[in-house]
Structures are given as structure tokens and as C-alpha cells.
Amino acid sequence: MGMLIALWIFIIGCMEMAKKKLPSFRKLAGLDALPEMVGRAAEMNRPVHFTTGLGELTGTVAPQLVAGLAVLGYVSELAAKYGVKIIYSVYQAQVMPIATELMREAYIRAGKADAFDAEGQIRYLSGEQFAYATAVQGIAERERPAANIMIGPFYAESMMFSETFFRIGSIQLAGTARGYQIPFFAVVCDYLLIGEEIYAAGAYLSKDAVQCGSIQGQDLGKLIAWILMFIGVLATAAGSPIIIDLLKA
């Protein structure tokens, strides 16, 4: 329980600190690839496809969805700048209004407010897993996006998507914190955000103090874990169970 309290304090503390000054982030290779991906779509004169997977804003996977939406904002701005059409496939009806605002603002930031076509670019594809999955595959086959970006909570459809977009020659960036699905993305996609990297990406792009601070708090937790394991291994090698006993308490 002591550990839980310690983590609690770290997380809240960092969230408070982040309100004053945002923490800085390490480079995330997948994000650096985005301009290149959108640029390639511009050269080929083909659209960019974006989707955020399943889940609800009210469930435990909500943070993944939020991270995906943050990346959507960033990619929309890039797409607006390069004059590329971006298609966003939506599974959750509740996300529609949020996404519309987000993308409109991105287009305004890029100075291309007129180019935004909410009806044509944001596609609501029913709240049913496999209906959504087939519809996304349909978009892939018909509109042949040059790039496909998938960030959010993905389930069994991950393999269908990555395989279909691979077949039509899209360059792909994918990320999810749902461990069971990462391998499929790793096998097929060109760029990969592994697990929690998507949270970091979302926080980094949205510059949201709560999210950034929370990530820094978790990082402190990881450092504790790291130090405990490191010392623990050394202690075990030296024949002392000090760390193991410490954790039993």
C-alpha cells in the first residue's frame, strides 16, 4: 500500500508541476515520420486515412482514444498544409462532434478553413466491430489512401486493417496500448508506436498539462521500478534478499 501511496503522490505532484511548466519529451520515431507520410500522399495525390479503433469515451480505453484524437488534430493540420484529403473513419458516434471541432480547428490553424468538408472527411461507420471493419476495408479498396494512420484501442480488426492497407500499398503508422494487438501492427506496419508511446504522443501533441504531468509521474514510477530491480539483482548476486524482503512488507 505504501507503494500505491507513493505513486499517488508522484502522479498528482507531477500533474500540479506540469500546470506551471510542461515536461519535455523524448523523440518518438513514429511521430517524426508523419510529415513524410503526408508528404508522400501529396506527391501521389491520394488521401490519408486515419482511424482510432473501437472503445468508448466512457470506458477504460478512453485514454487511448483521446491519444488517437490528439494525433488526429496534428495530422489534420499537416494534411491541410500539404493540401491532402484526410479521411477519418469513426466507430463511436460520441466522437463525431469532438472530431469535427478538432479537424476544423486544425484546418483553420493551417489557414485552409475552406478546404474542410466535415461530411465527406469524417465517416461514421456504425458502432459494430465487424461492420466498421468491413467499411474501413471498403474505403481502402476504393479510395486507395497513400498513408494509413491507426492510433487508439484496436481489437481483432487490427490484422484486417493492416493487411488490407498493406496490400493496396499504403505506408502505415500504427499504435495501440492493447498488448494483444501490437504484434500484428509490428509485423505489417512501417512505423510503430509501442504501447504507452501513444499516450506520450497524445500528451506531447496536445500539450495538455494533466496528461503530460501524469506521464511524468508514471515515469518516476518506472525509475523506481528500475532502481529496485537493479539494486535487487545486485543484492541477490551478493546473496542478500534485502530488496525482495523490502517489497514483501
Partner 1 sequence: MAVDLGSVIQIWIAALFTIWIYSIAFRDNVFFKFAEHTFVGAAAGHSIVYGVDNVLRYGWDPFTKGALFYAAVFLLGVILYTRYHKKYFWVSRFPLAVMVGIGIGLSMRATVTAEFIAQIQSTAAMKVLGVDAWTGFSNLLFIIIVLTVVYFFVFTFPAMHAGKRGIISKIARYGMMAAFGYSFANTVLSRFNMIFGRLDFLMTSWLPLPGAMVALPIVLILLAYAMIPAQKRPWPKPSKPS
Partner 2 sequence: MSKKGKGFWARLEDVPREVLYVILLIVFIIPMLNPIGFPVPISDAVKKWYATIDAMPAGSAIMIDFGYSGGGEPELGPMAVAVYHHIFRKGGLKSITMSTSIEGPLLWDKVIAEVKPETYGAKYGVDYIHIGYISGTETAMAAVGKDLRATTNTDYKKVSLDQFPIMQGIKDASSFKLLICYTTGGDQSEGWVRQWYTPYKVPYLCSVIAMMVPTMLPYQKAGQIVSLTAGAQAGEMELLIKMPGRGIKSADVITLTHLLVFAFVIIGNIAYYGRKASERAGGG
Partner 3 sequence: MSLLVRRQIPILIVFVSALLVMVDYFLKIPGTGPVVKDLQNWGIILTAFALGFGAVNLFYLHTRHISRRTAGQWPFSIWLLLMIVVFAVIGVATGPTGPQYSWLYNASYFALNATVYSSLGFYMTTGCYRALRARNAEAALLLVVGAIALLKNAPAVAVGIPVIIPAEAWLSAIPTTSAQRGIMIGASLGAIALGVRTMIGRETGFLGRLTEAERRGGT
Q: Does 167 bind partner 2 (CB under 8 A)?
A: yes
Residues numbered 7 to 36 that lie near partner 1 (CB under 8 A) are 7, 23-28
CA gap 91, 1 in Å, rounded: 39
Q: Does 2 bind partner 2 (CB under 8 A)?
A: no
CA gap 142, 119 in Å, rounded: 18
Q: How many CB atoms lie within 10 A of CB 7?
A: 15
Residue with grid cell 507513493, as numbered in its chain? 6
Q: Which is nearer to partner 1, 7 or 115 (CB)?
A: 7
Q: Which is nearer to partner 2, 227 or 244 (CB)?
A: 244
Q: Which is nearer to partner 3, 121 or 162 (CB)?
A: 162
CA gap 90, 70 in Å, rounded: 14
Shortest Å, Cβ 83 to partner 3 = 30
Look at residues 16, 103, 17 and name the one whose alpha carbon lies nearest to residue 68. Answer: 103
Shortest Å, Cβ 195 to partner 3 = 6
User: What are residue 123's DSSP bridge partners?
Assistant: 89
Shortest Å, Cβ 83 to partner 2 = 31
What does the binding site for partner 2 look like in residue numbers (CB under 8 A)?
Answer: 167, 179-180
